[in-house]
Protein backbone atom coordinates (compact mmCIF):
# COMPACT_ATOMS: atom_id res chain seq x y z
CA UNK A 1 0.00 0.00 0.00
CA UNK A 2 2.96 2.31 0.56
CA UNK A 3 3.45 2.22 -3.17
CA UNK A 4 0.35 4.37 -3.55
CA UNK A 5 1.82 7.29 -1.68
CA UNK A 6 3.98 8.80 -4.45
CA UNK A 7 1.29 8.35 -7.07
CA UNK A 8 -0.65 11.59 -6.43
CA UNK A 9 2.55 13.42 -7.32
CA UNK A 10 3.84 11.21 -10.09
CA UNK A 11 0.66 10.69 -12.08
CA UNK A 12 -0.05 14.36 -12.84
CA UNK A 13 3.61 14.89 -13.67
CA UNK A 14 3.62 11.94 -16.02
CA UNK A 15 0.49 13.25 -17.68
CA UNK A 16 2.12 16.66 -18.04
CA UNK A 17 5.24 15.17 -19.57
CA UNK A 18 3.31 13.03 -22.02
CA UNK A 19 1.19 15.98 -23.05
CA UNK A 20 4.22 18.06 -23.80
CA UNK A 21 5.88 15.27 -25.65
CA UNK A 22 2.90 14.66 -27.91
CA UNK A 23 2.76 18.38 -28.45
CA UNK A 24 -0.08 20.19 -30.10
CA UNK A 25 -1.32 17.04 -31.77
CA UNK A 26 -4.19 15.27 -30.16
CA UNK A 27 -5.55 18.37 -28.51
CA UNK A 28 -8.81 16.58 -27.91
CA UNK A 29 -7.15 13.87 -25.93
CA UNK A 30 -5.55 16.40 -23.60
CA UNK A 31 -8.70 16.93 -21.59
CA UNK A 32 -9.39 13.24 -21.36
CA UNK A 33 -5.89 12.52 -20.12
CA UNK A 34 -6.13 15.17 -17.44
CA UNK A 35 -9.53 14.09 -16.25
CA UNK A 36 -8.55 10.45 -16.12
CA UNK A 37 -5.39 11.27 -14.21
CA UNK A 38 -7.24 13.30 -11.65
CA UNK A 39 -9.95 10.68 -11.28
CA UNK A 40 -7.31 8.04 -10.62
CA UNK A 41 -5.73 10.45 -8.18
CA UNK A 42 -8.98 10.76 -6.31
CA UNK A 43 -9.32 7.01 -6.03
CA UNK A 44 -5.72 6.62 -4.88
CA UNK A 45 -6.12 9.34 -2.27
CA UNK A 46 -9.35 7.84 -0.99
CA UNK A 47 -7.71 4.43 -0.64
CA UNK A 48 -4.82 6.08 1.16
CA UNK A 49 -7.18 7.81 3.55
CA UNK A 50 -8.91 4.57 4.42
CA UNK A 51 -5.58 2.85 4.86
CA UNK A 52 -4.00 5.43 7.12
CA UNK A 53 -7.17 5.76 9.14
CA UNK A 54 -7.06 2.07 9.94
CA UNK A 55 -3.33 1.42 10.09
CA UNK A 56 -1.83 4.73 11.15
CA UNK A 57 0.69 6.83 9.23
CA UNK A 58 2.32 5.24 6.21
CA UNK A 59 5.70 6.15 4.84
CA UNK A 60 7.21 5.89 1.39
CA UNK A 61 11.01 6.03 1.33
CA UNK A 62 11.89 7.55 -1.98
CA UNK A 63 14.58 5.60 -3.74
CA UNK A 64 14.64 3.22 -0.83
CA UNK A 65 16.62 5.63 1.36
CA UNK A 66 15.86 5.70 5.05
CA UNK A 67 14.54 8.78 6.73
CA UNK A 68 17.25 11.19 7.74
CA UNK A 69 19.27 10.41 4.63
CA UNK A 70 16.66 10.29 1.92
CA UNK A 71 13.33 11.94 1.36
CA UNK A 72 10.24 10.35 2.80
CA UNK A 73 6.67 10.88 1.85
CA UNK A 74 4.33 10.48 4.78
CA UNK A 75 0.63 9.93 4.59
CA UNK A 76 -1.19 10.41 7.84
CA UNK A 77 -4.82 11.23 8.44
CA UNK A 78 -4.30 14.95 7.96
CA UNK A 79 -2.37 14.73 4.73
CA UNK A 80 -4.61 12.03 3.31
CA UNK A 81 -7.71 14.02 4.15
CA UNK A 82 -6.30 17.14 2.54
CA UNK A 83 -5.31 15.06 -0.45
CA UNK A 84 -8.75 13.55 -0.90
CA UNK A 85 -10.43 16.92 -0.65
CA UNK A 86 -8.05 18.59 -3.03
CA UNK A 87 -8.34 15.73 -5.53
CA UNK A 88 -12.10 15.91 -5.49
CA UNK A 89 -12.05 19.66 -5.90
CA UNK A 90 -9.50 19.68 -8.68
CA UNK A 91 -11.29 16.94 -10.56
CA UNK A 92 -14.40 19.11 -10.67
CA UNK A 93 -12.40 22.14 -11.75
CA UNK A 94 -10.64 20.16 -14.44
CA UNK A 95 -13.93 18.94 -15.85
CA UNK A 96 -15.15 22.52 -15.75
CA UNK A 97 -12.18 23.84 -17.65
CA UNK A 98 -12.29 21.07 -20.22
CA UNK A 99 -16.00 21.53 -20.80
CA UNK A 100 -15.70 25.28 -20.96
CA UNK A 101 -12.84 24.78 -23.38
CA UNK A 102 -10.81 27.12 -21.26
CA UNK A 103 -7.98 24.79 -21.87
CA UNK A 104 -8.35 25.25 -25.58
CA UNK A 105 -9.35 28.91 -25.69
CA UNK A 106 -6.59 29.83 -23.34
CA UNK A 107 -4.27 27.25 -24.65
CA UNK A 108 -3.64 28.54 -28.11
CA UNK A 109 -0.02 29.28 -27.43
CA UNK A 110 2.39 27.17 -29.44
CA UNK A 111 2.72 24.59 -26.73
CA UNK A 112 0.08 22.96 -24.66
CA UNK A 113 0.34 25.21 -21.65
CA UNK A 114 -2.82 25.10 -19.61
CA UNK A 115 -2.86 21.40 -18.85
CA UNK A 116 0.82 20.93 -18.01
CA UNK A 117 0.87 24.01 -15.80
CA UNK A 118 -2.30 22.93 -14.07
CA UNK A 119 -1.09 19.39 -13.55
CA UNK A 120 2.31 20.41 -12.22
CA UNK A 121 0.61 22.76 -9.82
CA UNK A 122 -1.56 19.91 -8.55
CA UNK A 123 1.45 17.65 -8.25
CA UNK A 124 3.13 20.36 -6.21
CA UNK A 125 0.10 20.60 -3.95
CA UNK A 126 0.04 16.85 -3.44
CA UNK A 127 3.75 16.80 -2.81
CA UNK A 128 3.42 19.55 -0.23
CA UNK A 129 0.76 17.57 1.60
CA UNK A 130 2.77 14.38 1.54
CA UNK A 131 6.37 15.30 2.02
CA UNK A 132 8.17 14.56 5.22
CA UNK A 133 11.23 16.58 4.34
CA UNK A 134 11.49 20.29 4.92
CA UNK A 135 13.58 21.06 1.86
CA UNK A 136 11.35 18.96 -0.29
CA UNK A 137 8.48 21.06 1.01
CA UNK A 138 10.30 24.04 -0.44
CA UNK A 139 10.58 22.27 -3.78
CA UNK A 140 6.91 21.34 -3.63
CA UNK A 141 6.05 24.99 -3.02
CA UNK A 142 8.15 25.98 -6.00
CA UNK A 143 6.34 23.42 -8.15
CA UNK A 144 2.92 24.68 -7.27
CA UNK A 145 4.04 28.29 -7.47
CA UNK A 146 5.58 27.90 -10.91
CA UNK A 147 2.35 26.37 -12.15
CA UNK A 148 0.38 29.17 -10.61
CA UNK A 149 2.61 31.89 -12.09
CA UNK A 150 1.89 30.55 -15.53
CA UNK A 151 -1.83 30.15 -14.98
CA UNK A 152 -2.12 33.58 -13.43
CA UNK A 153 -0.44 35.38 -16.31
CA UNK A 154 -2.22 33.46 -19.04
CA UNK A 155 -2.74 35.57 -22.11
CA UNK A 156 -0.53 38.32 -20.74
CA UNK A 157 -3.26 40.96 -20.49
CA UNK A 158 -2.32 44.14 -18.63
CA UNK A 159 -4.24 43.34 -15.48
CA UNK A 160 -2.88 39.81 -15.42
CA UNK A 161 0.63 41.10 -15.83
CA UNK A 162 0.08 43.52 -12.98
CA UNK A 163 -1.48 40.83 -10.83
CA UNK A 164 1.23 38.43 -11.88
CA UNK A 165 3.90 40.88 -10.80
CA UNK A 166 2.31 41.27 -7.37
CA UNK A 167 1.87 37.57 -6.99
CA UNK A 168 5.29 36.57 -8.24
CA UNK A 169 7.16 39.10 -6.17
CA UNK A 170 5.35 38.10 -3.00
CA UNK A 171 5.78 34.42 -3.73
CA UNK A 172 9.47 34.98 -4.29
CA UNK A 173 9.66 36.82 -0.99
CA UNK A 174 8.10 33.83 0.65
CA UNK A 175 10.49 31.46 -1.09
CA UNK A 176 13.46 33.51 0.00
CA UNK A 177 12.22 33.53 3.57
CA UNK A 178 11.76 29.80 3.39
CA UNK A 179 15.33 29.40 2.14
CA UNK A 180 16.68 31.57 4.93
CA UNK A 181 14.71 29.48 7.38
CA UNK A 182 16.12 26.33 5.81
CA UNK A 183 19.64 27.64 6.18
CA UNK A 184 18.98 28.34 9.84
CA UNK A 185 17.29 24.99 10.35
CA UNK A 186 20.11 23.01 8.81
CA UNK A 187 22.75 25.02 10.60
CA UNK A 188 21.08 24.48 13.94
CA UNK A 189 20.01 20.87 13.64
CA UNK A 190 21.89 19.37 10.74
CA UNK A 191 18.86 17.59 9.36
CA UNK A 192 15.92 18.19 7.05
CA UNK A 193 13.67 15.27 7.86
CA UNK A 194 10.65 16.67 9.66
CA UNK A 195 10.39 13.71 12.00
CA UNK A 196 13.98 14.11 13.06
CA UNK A 197 13.56 17.86 13.27
CA UNK A 198 10.68 17.34 15.65
CA UNK A 199 13.08 15.52 17.93
CA UNK A 200 16.05 17.81 17.50
CA UNK A 201 14.16 21.08 17.92
CA UNK A 202 13.32 20.06 21.44
CA UNK A 203 16.99 20.36 22.42
CA UNK A 204 17.55 23.82 20.98
CA UNK A 205 17.75 26.99 23.02
CA UNK A 206 14.42 28.80 23.19
CA UNK A 207 15.92 31.69 21.28
CA UNK A 208 16.88 29.70 18.21
CA UNK A 209 13.71 27.65 18.46
CA UNK A 210 11.60 30.76 18.36
CA UNK A 211 13.69 32.19 15.56
CA UNK A 212 13.24 29.12 13.38
CA UNK A 213 9.58 28.86 14.17
CA UNK A 214 8.87 32.48 13.37
CA UNK A 215 10.88 32.43 10.16
CA UNK A 216 9.03 29.38 8.89
CA UNK A 217 5.76 30.80 10.10
CA UNK A 218 6.32 34.03 8.22
CA UNK A 219 7.17 32.14 5.04
CA UNK A 220 4.04 30.02 5.34
CA UNK A 221 1.91 32.96 6.41
CA UNK A 222 2.56 34.66 3.08
CA UNK A 223 1.31 31.56 1.30
CA UNK A 224 -1.67 31.22 3.57
CA UNK A 225 -2.39 34.96 3.29
CA UNK A 226 -2.47 35.81 6.96
CA UNK A 227 -2.44 39.42 8.07
CA UNK A 228 -0.13 41.39 7.83
CA UNK A 229 1.18 39.57 4.75
CA UNK A 230 -2.18 38.97 3.10
CA UNK A 231 -2.48 42.04 0.92
CA UNK A 232 -1.21 40.41 -2.24
CA UNK A 233 -4.00 37.88 -2.50
CA UNK A 234 -7.03 40.01 -3.35
CA UNK A 235 -4.90 41.96 -5.79
CA UNK A 236 -3.83 38.94 -7.74
CA UNK A 237 -6.35 36.11 -7.61
CA UNK A 238 -9.37 37.74 -9.20
CA UNK A 239 -7.73 38.38 -12.55
CA UNK A 240 -6.74 34.82 -13.36
CA UNK A 241 -8.93 32.63 -15.58
CA UNK A 242 -11.90 31.29 -13.64
CA UNK A 243 -10.76 27.68 -13.19
CA UNK A 244 -7.32 28.87 -12.16
CA UNK A 245 -8.71 31.30 -9.59
CA UNK A 246 -10.97 28.58 -8.30
CA UNK A 247 -8.10 26.21 -7.71
CA UNK A 248 -5.88 28.92 -6.30
CA UNK A 249 -8.56 29.88 -3.86
CA UNK A 250 -9.34 26.35 -2.90
CA UNK A 251 -5.91 24.86 -2.65
CA UNK A 252 -2.98 27.22 -2.59
CA UNK A 253 -3.74 29.06 0.61
CA UNK A 254 -4.67 25.76 2.20
CA UNK A 255 -1.22 24.45 1.42
CA UNK A 256 0.16 27.30 3.50
CA UNK A 257 -2.34 26.55 6.23
CA UNK A 258 -1.43 22.89 6.09
CA UNK A 259 2.24 23.77 6.47
CA UNK A 260 1.35 25.82 9.52
CA UNK A 261 -0.57 22.86 10.96
CA UNK A 262 2.52 20.70 10.59
CA UNK A 263 4.85 23.39 11.85
CA UNK A 264 2.88 24.17 14.95
CA UNK A 265 1.76 20.68 15.85
CA UNK A 266 4.65 18.50 14.78
CA UNK A 267 7.73 20.68 14.99
CA UNK A 268 6.93 23.20 17.68
CA UNK A 269 4.24 21.91 20.02
CA UNK A 270 3.33 24.38 22.72
CA UNK A 271 5.42 27.47 22.96
CA UNK A 272 4.82 31.16 22.89
CA UNK A 273 3.79 31.49 19.26
CA UNK A 274 0.22 30.34 19.93
CA UNK A 275 -0.70 33.76 21.29
CA UNK A 276 0.87 35.46 18.32
CA UNK A 277 -1.14 33.23 16.02
CA UNK A 278 -4.31 34.13 17.84
CA UNK A 279 -3.62 37.81 17.34
CA UNK A 280 -2.88 37.23 13.70
CA UNK A 281 -6.07 35.21 13.36
CA UNK A 282 -8.05 38.01 14.96
CA UNK A 283 -6.67 40.61 12.60
CA UNK A 284 -7.05 38.36 9.57
CA UNK A 285 -10.65 37.53 10.36
CA UNK A 286 -11.84 41.04 10.97
CA UNK A 287 -9.79 43.01 8.47
CA UNK A 288 -10.40 40.45 5.78
CA UNK A 289 -14.12 40.49 6.13
CA UNK A 290 -14.19 44.28 6.24
CA UNK A 291 -12.40 44.15 2.93
CA UNK A 292 -15.08 41.84 1.63
CA UNK A 293 -17.79 44.23 2.72
CA UNK A 294 -16.04 47.06 0.91
CA UNK A 295 -15.83 45.35 -2.47
CA UNK A 296 -18.10 45.94 -5.41
CA UNK A 297 -16.92 43.00 -7.43
CA UNK A 298 -17.92 39.43 -6.75
CA UNK A 299 -14.52 37.91 -7.38
CA UNK A 300 -12.75 40.43 -5.21
CA UNK A 301 -15.33 40.06 -2.50
CA UNK A 302 -14.73 36.32 -2.56
CA UNK A 303 -11.00 36.84 -2.43
CA UNK A 304 -11.36 38.90 0.70
CA UNK A 305 -13.57 36.31 2.35
CA UNK A 306 -10.89 33.83 1.42
CA UNK A 307 -8.34 35.85 3.35
CA UNK A 308 -10.72 36.38 6.22
CA UNK A 309 -11.67 32.75 6.62
CA UNK A 310 -8.07 31.62 6.70
CA UNK A 311 -8.25 33.32 10.08
CA UNK A 312 -10.62 30.60 11.27
CA UNK A 313 -8.05 27.93 10.57
CA UNK A 314 -5.25 29.94 12.14
CA UNK A 315 -7.45 30.41 15.17
CA UNK A 316 -7.83 26.65 15.49
CA UNK A 317 -4.07 26.18 15.31
CA UNK A 318 -3.44 28.98 17.76
CA UNK A 319 -5.72 27.41 20.34
CA UNK A 320 -3.39 24.40 20.27
CA UNK A 321 -5.97 21.95 21.54
CA UNK A 322 -7.24 18.85 19.81
CA UNK A 323 -10.67 20.40 19.51
CA UNK A 324 -9.25 23.59 18.03
CA UNK A 325 -7.07 21.81 15.54
CA UNK A 326 -9.88 19.44 14.61
CA UNK A 327 -12.09 22.44 13.97
CA UNK A 328 -9.39 24.03 11.86
CA UNK A 329 -8.96 20.88 9.78
CA UNK A 330 -12.70 20.58 9.33
CA UNK A 331 -12.88 24.19 8.30
CA UNK A 332 -10.04 23.72 5.84
CA UNK A 333 -11.86 20.83 4.17
CA UNK A 334 -15.06 22.86 4.01
CA UNK A 335 -13.33 25.96 2.79
CA UNK A 336 -11.45 24.24 -0.02
CA UNK A 337 -14.70 23.00 -1.43
CA UNK A 338 -16.92 25.99 -0.93
CA UNK A 339 -14.50 28.67 -1.96
CA UNK A 340 -13.69 26.78 -5.13
CA UNK A 341 -17.32 26.33 -6.02
CA UNK A 342 -18.00 30.01 -5.44
CA UNK A 343 -15.20 31.04 -7.76
CA UNK A 344 -16.48 28.66 -10.38
CA UNK A 345 -19.90 30.25 -10.04
CA UNK A 346 -18.30 33.65 -10.38
CA UNK A 347 -16.74 32.35 -13.56
CA UNK A 348 -20.15 31.27 -14.79
CA UNK A 349 -21.57 34.67 -13.99
CA UNK A 350 -18.76 36.35 -15.85
CA UNK A 351 -19.25 34.05 -18.77
CA UNK A 352 -22.92 34.77 -18.89
CA UNK A 353 -22.87 38.50 -18.41
CA UNK A 354 -19.35 39.60 -19.12
CA UNK A 355 -18.86 41.17 -15.72
CA UNK A 356 -18.75 40.36 -12.04
CA UNK A 357 -19.28 43.88 -10.79
CA UNK A 358 -22.39 44.03 -8.65
CA UNK A 359 -23.06 47.55 -9.78
CA UNK A 360 -23.56 46.32 -13.30
CA UNK A 361 -25.18 42.99 -12.67
CA UNK A 362 -28.86 42.57 -12.02
CA UNK A 363 -31.90 40.44 -12.39
CA UNK A 364 -30.01 37.19 -12.34
CA UNK A 365 -32.61 35.39 -10.26
CA UNK A 366 -35.19 35.87 -12.96
CA UNK A 367 -32.76 35.41 -15.78
CA UNK A 368 -30.74 32.52 -14.48
CA UNK A 369 -32.54 30.67 -11.69
CA UNK A 370 -30.20 27.69 -11.71
CA UNK A 371 -27.13 29.89 -11.53
CA UNK A 372 -28.76 31.78 -8.68
CA UNK A 373 -29.27 28.57 -6.77
CA UNK A 374 -25.69 27.56 -7.47
CA UNK A 375 -24.54 30.87 -6.03
CA UNK A 376 -26.91 31.03 -3.11
CA UNK A 377 -26.23 27.64 -1.60
CA UNK A 378 -22.45 27.85 -1.34
CA UNK A 379 -22.69 31.53 -0.42
CA UNK A 380 -24.86 30.64 2.54
CA UNK A 381 -22.49 27.81 3.28
CA UNK A 382 -19.62 30.25 3.31
CA UNK A 383 -21.52 32.52 5.67
CA UNK A 384 -21.87 29.65 8.06
CA UNK A 385 -25.60 29.16 7.80
CA UNK A 386 -26.49 25.86 9.45
CA UNK A 387 -26.66 23.01 8.86
CA UNK A 388 -24.03 23.48 6.19
CA UNK A 389 -20.39 22.67 6.68
CA UNK A 390 -19.35 26.28 7.23
CA UNK A 391 -21.51 26.28 10.32
CA UNK A 392 -20.15 22.96 11.52
CA UNK A 393 -16.56 24.12 11.22
CA UNK A 394 -17.36 27.39 12.92
CA UNK A 395 -19.22 25.56 15.65
CA UNK A 396 -16.23 23.35 16.32
CA UNK A 397 -14.00 26.40 16.56
CA UNK A 398 -16.40 28.32 18.79
CA UNK A 399 -16.65 25.34 21.08
CA UNK A 400 -12.89 24.97 21.17
CA UNK A 401 -12.40 28.68 21.83
CA UNK A 402 -14.92 28.85 24.65
CA UNK A 403 -13.54 25.66 26.11
CA UNK A 404 -10.09 27.20 26.35
CA UNK A 405 -11.52 30.39 27.81
CA UNK A 406 -9.53 33.49 28.62
CA UNK A 407 -9.70 36.94 27.15
CA UNK A 408 -8.01 36.36 23.81
CA UNK A 409 -9.83 33.13 22.89
CA UNK A 410 -13.14 34.70 23.80
CA UNK A 411 -12.27 37.77 21.77
CA UNK A 412 -11.53 35.43 18.90
CA UNK A 413 -14.82 33.66 19.29
CA UNK A 414 -16.51 37.03 19.14
CA UNK A 415 -14.50 37.95 16.07
CA UNK A 416 -15.37 34.63 14.49
CA UNK A 417 -19.06 35.27 14.98
CA UNK A 418 -18.84 38.86 13.79
CA UNK A 419 -16.95 37.67 10.74
CA UNK A 420 -19.68 35.20 10.08
CA UNK A 421 -22.27 37.95 10.24
CA UNK A 422 -20.31 40.31 8.04
CA UNK A 423 -19.67 37.56 5.52
CA UNK A 424 -23.38 37.00 5.40
CA UNK A 425 -23.89 40.72 4.93
CA UNK A 426 -21.36 40.89 2.10
CA UNK A 427 -22.91 37.90 0.41
CA UNK A 428 -26.42 39.23 0.90
CA UNK A 429 -25.37 42.49 -0.69
CA UNK A 430 -24.25 40.60 -3.74
CA UNK A 431 -27.43 38.59 -3.74
CA UNK A 432 -29.59 41.68 -3.37
CA UNK A 433 -27.90 43.56 -6.16
CA UNK A 434 -26.79 40.99 -8.67
CA UNK A 435 -29.61 38.54 -8.29
CA UNK A 436 -32.66 40.28 -6.86
CA UNK A 437 -32.44 43.74 -8.26
CA UNK A 438 -33.76 44.23 -11.76
CA UNK A 439 -31.70 46.61 -13.80
CA UNK A 440 -31.64 47.97 -17.22
CA UNK A 441 -28.70 45.72 -17.86
CA UNK A 442 -30.84 42.81 -16.74
CA UNK A 443 -28.58 39.82 -16.95
CA UNK A 444 -27.34 41.03 -20.29
CA UNK A 445 -24.33 42.81 -18.94
CA UNK A 446 -22.47 45.01 -21.32
CA UNK A 447 -19.16 44.00 -22.66
CA UNK A 448 -16.57 45.88 -20.79
CA UNK A 449 -14.24 48.13 -22.68
CA UNK A 450 -11.43 46.29 -20.96
CA UNK A 451 -9.56 44.01 -23.25
CA UNK A 452 -9.66 41.00 -21.06
CA UNK A 453 -13.22 39.95 -21.00
CA UNK A 454 -13.67 36.27 -21.05
CA UNK A 455 -15.24 35.15 -24.28
CA UNK A 456 -18.84 35.55 -23.45
CA UNK A 457 -21.29 33.12 -24.83
CA UNK A 458 -24.96 33.90 -25.02
CA UNK A 459 -25.64 30.20 -24.90
CA UNK A 460 -24.37 28.93 -21.61
CA UNK A 461 -22.94 25.50 -21.80
CA UNK A 462 -25.05 23.22 -19.64
CA UNK A 463 -22.03 21.02 -19.10
CA UNK A 464 -20.46 23.81 -17.06
CA UNK A 465 -23.19 23.56 -14.48
CA UNK A 466 -22.40 19.90 -13.91
CA UNK A 467 -19.00 20.21 -12.25
CA UNK A 468 -20.05 23.35 -10.41
CA UNK A 469 -23.13 21.66 -9.08
CA UNK A 470 -21.07 18.64 -8.14
CA UNK A 471 -18.86 20.83 -6.00
CA UNK A 472 -21.84 22.53 -4.42
CA UNK A 473 -23.32 19.15 -3.63
CA UNK A 474 -20.01 18.01 -2.22
CA UNK A 475 -20.15 21.01 0.09
CA UNK A 476 -23.60 19.94 1.19
CA UNK A 477 -22.52 16.33 1.58
CA UNK A 478 -20.26 17.35 4.43
CA UNK A 479 -23.42 18.04 6.39
CA UNK A 480 -24.71 14.54 5.89
CA UNK A 481 -21.30 13.09 6.59
CA UNK A 482 -20.73 15.42 9.51
CA UNK A 483 -20.55 12.53 11.96
CA UNK A 484 -17.79 10.52 10.32
CA UNK A 485 -16.03 13.60 9.02
CA UNK A 486 -15.87 15.37 12.35
CA UNK A 487 -14.66 12.28 14.13
CA UNK A 488 -12.07 11.83 11.40
CA UNK A 489 -10.83 15.37 11.79
CA UNK A 490 -10.71 14.86 15.52
CA UNK A 491 -8.64 11.72 15.07
CA UNK A 492 -6.42 13.55 12.62
CA UNK A 493 -5.90 16.40 15.07
CA UNK A 494 -5.25 13.99 17.89
CA UNK A 495 -2.70 12.14 15.81
CA UNK A 496 -1.08 15.39 14.79
CA UNK A 497 -0.74 16.67 18.33
CA UNK A 498 0.39 13.32 19.64
CA UNK A 499 3.38 13.56 17.23
CA UNK A 500 4.74 10.20 18.21
CA UNK A 501 2.85 8.13 15.61
CA UNK A 502 4.32 10.29 12.87
CA UNK A 503 7.85 10.26 14.24
CA UNK A 504 7.79 6.53 14.85
CA UNK A 505 6.43 5.81 11.41
CA UNK A 506 9.23 7.76 9.78
CA UNK A 507 12.21 7.01 11.99
CA UNK A 508 11.15 3.63 13.25
CA UNK A 509 10.56 2.70 16.90
CA UNK A 510 13.24 3.92 19.26
Contact positions with other proteins (CB under 8 A) in 385-404: 385-387, 391-392, 395-396, 398-399, 402-403
Size of the site for other proteins (CB under 8 A): 155
CB distance 223 to 259 below 8 Å: yes
Query: Pick from 139, 13, 128, 133: which is nearest to 63 by CA?
Result: 133
CB contact at 8 A, 342 and 378: yes
Q: Which is nearer to other proteins, 70 or 463 (CB)?
A: 70
Q: Which has the closest alpha carbon to 85: 117, 122, 45? A: 45
Q: Is 26 in the site for other proteins (CB under 8 A)?
A: no
Q: Is residue 166 close enough to count as binding other proteins by CB under 8 A?
A: yes
3-state secondary structure of 499: coil
- Binding status of residue 1 toward other proteins by CB under 8 A: no
DSSP SS3 for 241 = coil
By three-state DSSP, how is residue 75 classified? Answer: strand
The set of residues, in sequence order, having a beta carbon less than 8 Å from that of 27 and lying 6+ positions away, is: 104, 112
Residues 6+ apart with CB under 8 A from 379: 342, 427, 430, 431
**DSSP single-letter state for residue 57:** -
> Which of positions 311-330 make contact with other proteins (CB under 8 A)?
326
With CB under 8 A as the contact rule, which of the stretches 47-55, 86-94, 153-161, 242-250 interacts with other proteins?
Answer: 153-161
- The minimum distance between CB 308 and other proteins, in angstroms, equals 12
Site pattern 365..384 for other proteins (x: CB under 8 A): xx--x----------x----
Binding residues for other proteins restricted to 196-215, rule: CB under 8 A = 196, 200, 203-208, 210-212, 214-215
User: Under the criterion CB under 8 A, does residue 255 sit at the interface with other proteins?
Assistant: no
Contacts of residue 406, defined as CB under 8 A and 6 or more positions apart, other chains included, come to none
Of residues 169 through 198, those in contact with other proteins by CB under 8 A are 169-170, 172-173, 176-177, 179-180, 182-193, 196
**144 and 128 in contact (C-beta within 8 Å)?**
yes
What's the rounded Cα separation, in Å, for the pair 475 and 379?
Answer: 11
Crossing angle for the helix pair 322-353 and 369-382, nearest 10 degrees?
Answer: 160
Helices (H) and strands (E) in the chain — how many of each? 22, 2
Is 120 a binding residue for other proteins by CB under 8 A? The answer is yes
Residue 505 interacts with other proteins (CB under 8 A): yes or no: no
Binding segment (CB under 8 A) for other proteins, from list 340-348, 362-370, 461-469, 499-507: 362-370
Shortest separation between residue 54's beta carbon and other proteins, angstroms: 18
As measured in angstroms, the least distance from the Cβ of 291 to other proteins is: 5
Question: Residues 32 to 61: which contact other proteins by CB under 8 A?
Answer: 60-61
Stretch that binds other proteins, among 28-36, 79-87, 106-114, 460-468 (CB under 8 A): 106-114
Q: Which of 33, 78, 99, 117 binds other proteins (CB under 8 A)?
A: 117
Q: Residue 112 — φ and ψ, nearest 5°? A: -65, 115
CB of 356 to other proteins, least distance (A): 12
Q: How many residues does the chain have?
A: 510
Q: Which of 89, 93, 94, 112 is the binder for other proteins (CB under 8 A)?
A: 112
**Of residues 228-247, those binding other proteins (CB under 8 A):** 228-229, 231-232, 234-235, 238
Crossing angle of helices 500-507 and 194-201, in 10° steps, is: 120
Site string for other proteins, 449-488 (x = CB under 8 A): ---------------------------------xx-xxx-
Amino acid sequence: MEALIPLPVLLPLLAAGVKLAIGARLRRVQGAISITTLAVNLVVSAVLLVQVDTHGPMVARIGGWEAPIGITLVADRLSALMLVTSSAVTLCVMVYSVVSAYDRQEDVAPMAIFHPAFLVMLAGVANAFLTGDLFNLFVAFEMLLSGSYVLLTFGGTPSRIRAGATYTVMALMSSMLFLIALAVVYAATGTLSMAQLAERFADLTPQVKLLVELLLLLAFAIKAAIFPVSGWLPDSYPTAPAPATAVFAGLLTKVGVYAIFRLEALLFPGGPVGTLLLWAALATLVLGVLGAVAQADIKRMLSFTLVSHVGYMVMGVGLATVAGLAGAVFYAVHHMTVQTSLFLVAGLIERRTGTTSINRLGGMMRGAPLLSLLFFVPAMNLSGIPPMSGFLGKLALVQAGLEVGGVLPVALVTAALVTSLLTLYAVAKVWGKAFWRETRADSEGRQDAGEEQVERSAVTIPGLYGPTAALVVLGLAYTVLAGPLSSLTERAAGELLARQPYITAVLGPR
